[in-house]
Structure 1
Amino acid sequence: MSDDKLRKRSLVIAGHRTSISLEDDFWDALREIAGARGLSLPALVAEVDSGRGAANLSSALRVAILRHYRACA
């Protein structure tokens, strides 16, 4: 990973402003996945958020990224 430092970003998800903390590499991966799917970053995050169950959003995003890249391998 290029930088282990967490970056906090605020997004509007389902009409509510929320802050998410992820490492830069995860933010980069989310933007890449969103672009490949023709989605905005907030739309992709909202999709993950809607199916995350009890997991916190940052963890759910990391798992979604891992699953995406495993499926591509």
Structure 2
Amino acid sequence: MRKVTPVGGEIGFLSDLMTQATSDVPVSRTVLLGGQRVSVRLEASIWDGLIDIGERQAKAVEELCAEIEARRAGIPLSTAIRVFVLQYFRERTEAV
């Protein structure tokens, strides 16, 4: 049986797989909320989205997290952040 090498060679293929895998690996970061340090564990892609939103709105990540914290309704902060990022980009996509 003949082995088929993906476009870009095996190294390129493995690099692409590693990039995809690491973008969804949970990353813990500490944010200051209400004067207390809170550890939040999110996928790297969610952190990237939150940073992007902060840049678009000229707000720090901690400021966004504080706003999300203030309006979350009994759900974990990490879940509320994921929902916030998803809704933000969904609304921008639907507007186009």
Whether TM-score is above 0.5 comes out as yes
| Residues 26-41 of structure 1: pairs in structure 2 closer than 5 A | 26-41=46-61
Which consecutive residues of structure 2, in runs of 5 or more, have no partner in the other structure?
Answer: 1-18
Distance 1:39 1:33 in 2: 8
Which consecutive residues of structure 1, in runs of 5 or more, have no partner in the other structure?
Answer: none
The CA deviation at 1:4 is 2.3
Instruction: Name the one with the larger strand percent.
Output: 1
Q: Which has the higher contact order (CA 8 A, sep 6+)?
A: 1
Instruction: Name the one with the larger helix percent.
Output: 2
SS in 2 for 1:55: coil
State the superposition RMSD in angstroms: 1.2
Query: Please, what TM-score do these two structures have when normalized by structure 2?
Result: 0.72
Task: Give 1:17's aligned residue.
Answer: 37
Aligned length, in residue pairs: 73
Distance 1:42 1:58 in 2: 13
SS in 2 for 1:53: coil
**Structure 1 residue ranges (4+ consecutive) displaced by more than 3 angstroms after TM superposition:** none
The percent of aligned pairs where both chains have the same amino acid is 30
